[in-house]
Amino acid sequence: MIYKFGGASVKDADSVKNLAEILRNRLRKNLIIVVSAMGKTTNGLESILAKKLQSEDFSENSANLKTYHEAICRDLFPPDHSVFAKLDNLFHQLENDLQKKLTPENYDEFYDQIVSFGEVISSRIVAEYLCSQELIVLWQDARAVIHTDSDFRFAKIDWTKTRKSCQSEWKPLLENFPILTQGFIGSDPKGKTTTLGREGSDFTAAILATSLDAGAVTIWKDVPGVLNADPKLFQNTKKFDELGYAEAAEMTYFGASVIHPKTIKPLANAGIPLYVKSFLDPEAAGTKIHEQASAHQVPTIVLKKDQVLVSFKVTDFTFIEEKHIHRVYEQLQTLKLRVNMLQLSAISISIVIDTQLFKLERLMANLREEFEIRYNDGLELLTILHPIVADIPVLLQGFEVLLEQASRNTFQVVRRKS
Ligand code: ASP
Ligand code: MG
């Protein structure tokens, strides 16, 4: 069994105490607990990197991050506890690594070395706290078993090697103790730290589940389960008691943030059920994602923010042909940009992509000679699965629509607050 606790479930001392209560009756051998960085730590580390890249002073940001973790520890531990020395040590290492040279060229590699501290620190604190509550867990470094390539920030899993390490190194440990480890991080063939993409801890849980033939994965969230819309953005949401793997995967594809998009596939292939449960109401059933779930037609709303609409217009008075599409896709692939929506007209290709540092500039630079390129940023991509047509106008009230696409089962618009 794998449990995954995300940033929100360890965001403060009370949350860590709550996590311990959830584990109190559930802790057993063969259990792996995967934790993310605490609260918004990853964003905090990203801001430090952004400042460093601009040669701005980031000392206040790193001091805040340290204060934040120390405050949590002061609430969880007596003042003479050894966790404080460990924390000092980790922040010392972080400060030291932050002194190294950062350029746009080594940004991705540098990013992984820095951002991974969030998970390492969090897992240390949580493991120490559990042990202090007589909930004995073994702290293990995920980088010892999660093997990836060297595609920093978007590292791909070496499944064979990962399975081998999990089986030889962790399986024997799990026969005696539960393991507590980090999500999101791995290591490349040289032993350098890599990360699996933002919010990748869910994926870690799935990787460990398949590599250890686990019976189930549970993701503990601040929502009652998988809902048909984000309750922070929409009213009258409905929880799914169960969902098929394909339906869940489709929702994540369009941007449902409740589960990381890469999580479903390995679990579906291995037939391992995924539970999404509330850490605020641990006894409640949540959502079970598995093969046999009955189909539903419940309208499901997914909103993806920070989108850019880019249009490529042919400049030579020809029409859009396959070669033009090919050229654009080739560049997107090189830059590892995924198209969230595509629309073709006679003379232009329009794509919607996530906003990512440097990427749009590079894309435009690489294709400037062949196309006239325009873009609009700060957009939202709204996807409705199984839409009820009459309900759509309400969702667009107060928004300007830049692009729209409908098929029988899916309705998508790119919108901007008007
Ligand atoms: N801490 C990482 C992030 O915020 C990974 C995760 O939370 O899953 O992206
Ligand atoms: Mg997170």
pLDDT of residue 120: 98
Cα gap 192→109, rounded to integer Å: 9
Atom of ligand 1 nearest to the CA of 203: 8
Residue 118's CATH number: 3.40.1160.10
pLDDT of residue 116: 98
Atom of ligand 1 nearest to the CA of 7: 7
- 18 and 138: one domain? yes
- 61 and 210: one domain? yes
Residue 210 contacts residue 270 (beta carbons within 8 Å): yes
Cα gap 131→292, rounded to integer Å: 39
With a 6 Å cutoff on the Cβ, whether 184 touches ligand 1 is: yes
Question: 252 is written with which tokens?
Answer: 């994540």
Question: 403 is written with which tokens?
Answer: 């692009």
Q: What SS3 state is found at 5?
A: strand
- Give the list of residues 6+ apart from residue 277 with CB closer than 8 angstroms, or none: 218, 219, 220, 221, 225, 284, 285, 286, 287
pTM, 2 dp: 0.90
- 203 and 306: one domain? no
pLDDT of residue 295: 79
- 194 and 319: one domain? no
With a 6 Å cutoff on the Cβ, whether 199 touches ligand 1 is: yes
Say if 131 falls within a structural domain: yes
Cα gap 116→186, rounded to integer Å: 9
Phi-psi region of 34 (alpha: psi -120 to 50; beta: other; left: phi over 0): beta
If one counts every other C-beta atom within 10 angstroms of the C-beta of residue 78, the result is 9
Residue 9 contacts residue 201 (beta carbons within 8 Å): no
- 129 and 17: one domain? yes
- 324 and 195: one domain? no
| Spatial CA neighbour of 248 closest among 272, 224, 265, 270 | 265
Say if 252 falls within a structural domain: no
Residue nearest to atom 3 of ligand 1 (CA): 199
Say if 270 falls within a structural domain: no
Question: 244 is written with which tokens?
Answer: 């098929």
Q: In three state form, how does the secondary structure of 312-349 look?
A: EEECCCCCCCHHHHHHHHHHHHHCCCCCCEEEECCCEE
Burial (CB < 10 A; 0-12, 13-18, 19+), residue 408, is exposed
Domain carrying residue 47: 2-215
- 15 and 151: one domain? yes
Cα gap 9→171, rounded to integer Å: 26
Atom of ligand 1 nearest to the CA of 119: 1
- 194 and 309: one domain? no
| Spatial CA neighbour of 217 closest among 172, 176, 262 | 262
Please work out, in degrees rounded to the nearest 5, the angle formed at the alpha carbon of residue 24 by the alpha carbons of 116 and 37: 15
Residue 329 contacts residue 386 (beta carbons within 8 Å): no
- 6 and 125: one domain? yes
Q: What SS3 state is found at 102?
A: coil
Cα gap 195→154, rounded to integer Å: 6
- 67 and 200: one domain? yes
Tens-digit pLDDT profile for the chain (418 aa)? 999 999 999 999 999 999 999 999 999 999 999 999 999 999 999 999 999 999 999 999 999 999 999 999 999 999 999 999 999 999 999 999 999 999 989 999 999 999 999 999 999 999 999 999 999 999 999 999 999 999 999 999 999 999 999 999 999 999 999 999 999 999 999 999 999 999 999 999 999 999 999 999 999 999 999 999 988 888 889 999 999 999 999 888 888 888 998 999 999 999 999 999 999 999 999 999 999 878 788 899 999 999 999 999 998 778 999 999 999 999 999 998 999 999 999 999 999 999 987 889 999 999 999 999 999 999 999 999 999 888 889 889 999 999 999 988 899 999 999 9
Burial (CB < 10 A; 0-12, 13-18, 19+), residue 361, is exposed
Domain edge (last residue) among 180, 215, 250: 215
- 209 and 77: one domain? yes
Q: Is the dihedral of CA 230, 17, 171, 139 positive or negative?
A: positive
Residue nearest to atom 8 of ligand 1 (CA): 199
Say if 202 falls within a structural domain: yes
With a 6 Å cutoff on the Cβ, whether 37 touches ligand 1 is: yes
- 201 and 323: one domain? no
Please give the tally of structural domains in the chain: 2
Question: 395 is written with which tokens?
Answer: 């969702």
Residue 346's CATH number: 3.30.2130.10
pLDDT of residue 94: 98
Q: What SS3 state is found at 204?
A: helix
Question: 269 is written with which tokens?
Answer: 């292939």
Quote the ligand 2 centre to 22 CA distance (angstroms). Answer: 19
Residues lying with their CB under 5 A of ligand 2, a single-atom ion: 7, 36
Say if 348 falls within a structural domain: yes
| Spatial CA neighbour of 396 closest among 412, 377, 378 | 412
Domain edge (last residue) among 180, 200, 215: 215
Atom of ligand 1 nearest to the CA of 40: 4
Domain edge (last residue) among 194, 215, 236: 215
Say if 258 falls within a structural domain: no
Say if 331 falls within a structural domain: yes
Say if 245 falls within a structural domain: no
What phi and psi values does residue 24 have, to the nearest 5 degrees?
-55, -45
